[in-house]
Amino acid sequence: MQRVSDLMSATLLTVEADASLIEAVRTMNDRRVGAALVLADGRLVGVFTERDVLRAVAEGLGPESTVADWMTRGPETIDPDESAEHAAVVMIHGGFRHLPVVDAGKVVGMLSIRDLMRQVLADAAPRGV
């Protein structure tokens, strides 16, 4: 199986922890992504995902809500040289669909469960084709 660096997205959506929740959601929607990396002073402090948005709505977010109020703090990360199989194990056991890729303390990518599935299904054809 391939390495994380072969499958990850290096085009990152980042937001500041004090960003408006509404603005972060709009940006995620515009970029058509399910997660944003949350940075403070250039370092990873959290991940803000679609699930965080659902939780915010369900629990009654206010107009002054910020990303920091709802983000997943201290997310699990993975090294770009790890195997895709290891990343899948981390994601499945952790119950999340997005995994920041960090090299020497710097965020270099994001791996999603969709990225992993593309690899698994690369050689498969739809039924009937």
67-124: per-residue pLDDT in tens? 999 999 999 999 999 999 999 999 999 999 999 999 998 999 999 999 998 887 776 6
12-68: per-residue pLDDT in tens? 999 999 999 999 999 999 999 999 999 988 889 999 999 999 999 999 878 789 999
| Helix/strand/coil (H/E/C) assignment for every residue in 5-54 | HHHCECCCCEEECCCEHHHHHHHHHHHCCCEEEEEECCEEEEEEEHHHHH
List for the chain the helix, strand, coil content (%; round to 5).
Answer: 35, 30, 35
pTM of the model: 0.86
Tokens of 68: 């920091």
Name residue 24's amino acid: A
Q: How far apart are the first and last CA of the chain?
A: 26
Please give the domain boundaries of the chain with CATH numbers for all domains.
Answer: 4-120 (3.10.580.10)
Residues 6+ apart with CB under 8 A from 40: 16, 17
